[in-house]
Amino acid sequence: MPLLRIDAASLGSSMADMELNLAMLFELAERWHAIALLDEADIFLEQRELCDLERNRLVASE
């Protein structure tokens, strides 16, 4: 089974870019019958810090 590695840099830097790119990459993984590996997913799961507002914006839910 193929592996589609997705890293945080390939997702974009805005919420809209991330949403669009994730949808496209998951669709591609489905078409290839591949496992999608979200590499560096820990940056989205770490506790947020007040000093890193840009990162907080990316991982915040609307």
H or E element: which one contains 4?
A: strand 3-6
User: What CA–CA distances, in Å, run from 43 to 23, 32, 36?
Assistant: 19, 27, 17
Task: Tell me which residue range forms the domain holding 12.
Answer: 3-59
Number of domains comprising the chain: 1
pTM of the complete model? 0.66
What's the length of the chain? 62
Q: Count each helix (H run) and each strand (E run) in the chain, helices first.
A: 3, 2
- The 10s digit of each residue's pLDDT in 12-45 is 877 788 889 999 999 999 999 999 998 877 776 6
Give pLDDT, residue 25.
94
3: helix, strand or coil: strand
